[in-house]
Structure 1
Amino acid sequence: MSRHKYSALTMGLTLALGIFATDLASAAEAVSVRLKWLPQAQFAGVYMAQEKGFYKDAGLDVTINPGGPNIAPETLVASGSDTFGILGGTEVILFSREKGLPLVAVGMLQQISPHAFVAYDDSGIESVQDFKGKRVATWFAGPQYTLFSMLAAEDVDQADVDIVSQPFSMQPFIEKQFDVAMVTTYNELNVLREGGINNIRLFYPGDSGVISQQDAIATSEQMIRDKPEVVQAFVEATLKGWKYAFENKEETIDTVLKSGTGLERRHQELMLDELEKLMVVRRGKDEGLGAIDLESISAVQDNLVAFEGLKAPVDLSAAFDTSFWEKTPAESKKVAE
């Protein structure tokens, strides 16, 4: 073969391969996932699914959009502005549906609530019943519904509690501006302990019989109707990312630190360890990450309706779709022991 023919053949093959690669790239489904907060280990599974190519292997071109205090992720996902979201928990989905948002949870990451309330040991507050007449702070970005569920379960009228908005800082509680404040066990509680504040009493939702799953993987009704295969691909890749995160923590923290700014390694390590306790427990341990516990969800709804937090029950079968989690193979969602 002459040099000219060989060169022409090489150029032809190169061009064909380039076109093929372009076709493959264009075949990837472009989707976005909206996080409910700023980059941190709370979303490690999403970062690892991106970092390790799990989304790409599933045929997805994923853009990760951070949340923040002035962002309404439920509205963005329900409207289709974002394809998927890592959102609030059981109560957020219920209240979103009550408002008419076509939002559907297709997985629930945290099997038990990460939220708790703290009061100082010398406050005289020994139970949720003692919240009456006290200044109780909570975040009004979804977690307030966990407080409402706890009050309902304890038969405490919201009107008897001075419920105030809590900033995204523990400083007002440290300065005793609030009698009770909300924390997550993977973040703010660690902030208090790292600051040497240990003279506190904790009130967990579970102590009031509230088993409230949190951090929903959610999408819109339209997405489920029009592109169920894309929803399936996203659920599987995300759960696979979380499985990898828990089985490879040091590498995961390296990736998390690259995803945000001003993150402190030790704090993110503590966060990931605590998240494992919240996610690899109950059905999350026995059956796999992301399981949707309709029994506990129904119990939360019953409490909210009984206490008129919800005006009426919502259709749980429309608000929570377990089919995508059920189709996800165990090897993608079961964490090695």
Structure 2
Amino acid sequence: MRFVKQGLVYAAAAMSLMAACGAHAEESVSVRLRWVTQTQFAGVYVALEKGFYKQAGLDVKINPGGPNISTETLVGSGADTFAVSGATDAILFAREKKLPIVAIGMTLQTTPYAFVSHQASSIKSVKDFSGKTVSAWFTGSQYQLFTALGNEGVDQKSVSIVSQPFSMQPFIDGKYDVSTVTMYNELLVLKDKNVAVNIFRADAYGVRVQDNAIITSEKMIKDKPEVVQAFLNATLRGWKYAIQNQPEAVDIVMKNGSGLNKTHQTNMLAAYAQLMQAAQGKTRGLGWVDLEAATITNANLLKYQALKSSIDVGPAFTNQFWDKVPAEYKLP
């Protein structure tokens, strides 16, 4: 009997040790969102809810963002491990500031930005912006407006370009002739309010920019490449599931957010999914980084003197982890 008891004690000790090892096997990381909880980040919340991060050996904490939060600074400083950041230009601006961040994936395969005019107005193309008041967010997206104007031969000086608030009400009230929207948010707000508009998508006017970069730090890539790979694998897996199961994905986001309108979140995810699968998204797969687009954006930012000098695109953007993501996680 004594030997049986000893055996049980040893077995219990072994099980405790295994449990402890299992707990430590999960790498604790954080991901910072560029904005508050909404279906713009459904893939991340789905990956957490469905256990994809856990299966990848990660214990992930999601930190929501907001208007005064810089995802690039937080990741560059090591305060957050990963982030869903801004567009191609945001990565280049961060690198100019010597922030050691790297884009390992691009959620939106084409720019989500568009410009709108009231349907009853005489503004039917970007060429018609001349002599008009156009509002834009001065957060980097204004350079997409500059590029569209330049590509259409419109002198920027002929357009009154003003800073745009987050609310679309000034445009609705007629304060601006043209305003900037994202296809997955502000445009939906206008539709909900039955505001009829003409839509001029930035990508239709030669703007080649990706958005909502998935970023990490150079240190993480150097010290823990396996963790970086695991995070990207699980995140894209979460996004694929979210796209294929949108009602469930909306419910998951609603559970994690506050004050969210379910209809708006449903429409947002549908529009967001289209942008994720646009351009090369259908053929190459979700999250692919367009290095050529980064080079083009770099040149445009130099042209408009947004950058003081050219940024080396190579260290700032990479597909080294995306290339190794299992096809079943990234192909639509």
TM-score range, shorter chain: over 0.9
Preserved CA contact (<8 Å) 1:152 1:304 = no
| 1:318 maps onto 2:315 in alignment | yes
Preserved CA contact (<8 Å) 1:107 1:292 = yes
Aligned residues: 332
From 114, 117, 124, the counterpart of 2:115? 117
Task: Identify the residue that residue 146 of structure 1 maps to in structure 2.
Answer: 144
Q: Which amino acid letter does the alignment assign opposite residue 81 of structure 2? A: T
* 1:1-337 map, 5 Å: 1=1, 13-156=11-154, 158-198=156-196, 200-335=197-332
Question: Could you state the TM-score of these two structures normalised by the residue count of structure 1?
Answer: 0.91
Q: Which amino acid letter does the alignment assign opposite residue 219 of structure 2? A: Q
SS of residue matched to 1:218: strand
Q: Which amino acid letter does the alignment assign opposite residue 24 of structure 2? A: S
Task: Give me the whole-angstrom Cα distance separating, in 1, the residues matched to 2:49 and 2:181.
Answer: 30
1:270/1:16 Cα in 2 relative to 1: closer, same or farther (>3 Å)?
A: same
1:21, CA displacement in angstroms? 1.8
1:75, CA displacement in angstroms? 1.2
1:283, CA displacement in angstroms? 1.9
1:38, CA displacement in angstroms? 0.8
Moved more, 27-36 or 121-130: 121-130
Preserved CA contact (<8 Å) 1:172 1:178 = yes
1:288, CA displacement in angstroms? 1.2
1:30/1:160 Cα in 2 relative to 1: closer, same or farther (>3 Å)?
A: farther
Preserved CA contact (<8 Å) 1:88 1:143 = no
1:141, CA displacement in angstroms? 3.5
SS of residue matched to 1:295: helix
Unaligned ranges ≥5, structure 2: none
Task: Give me the whole-angstrom Cα distance separating, in 1, the residues matched to 2:139 and 2:23.
Answer: 37
1:22/1:168 Cα in 2 relative to 1: closer, same or farther (>3 Å)?
A: farther
Task: Give me the whole-angstrom Cα distance separating, in 2, the residues matched to 1:81 and 1:234.
Answer: 17
Task: Give me the whole-angstrom Cα distance separating, in 1, the residues matched to 2:183 and 2:260.
Answer: 18
Question: Could you state the TM-score of these two structures normalised by the residue count of structure 2?
Answer: 0.92
Q: Which amino acid letter does the alignment assign opposite residue 185 of structure 2? A: N
Which string of whole-angstrom CA distances, capped at 9 and with x for unpartnered residues, describes residues 316-335 of structure 1? Answer: 11110110001111011112
Q: Which amino acid letter does the alignment assign opposite residue 251 of structure 2? A: D
Preserved CA contact (<8 Å) 2:143 2:304 = no
1:17/1:191 Cα in 2 relative to 1: closer, same or farther (>3 Å)?
A: same
Preserved CA contact (<8 Å) 2:147 2:206 = no
SS of residue matched to 1:17: helix
Q: Which amino acid letter does the alignment assign opposite residue 86 of structure 2? A: G
What is the root-mean-square deviation in Å for CA atoms of aligned residues?
2.1
Q: Which amino acid letter does the alignment assign opposite residue 198 of structure 2? A: R
1:132/1:330 Cα in 2 relative to 1: closer, same or farther (>3 Å)?
A: same
SS of residue matched to 1:323: coil
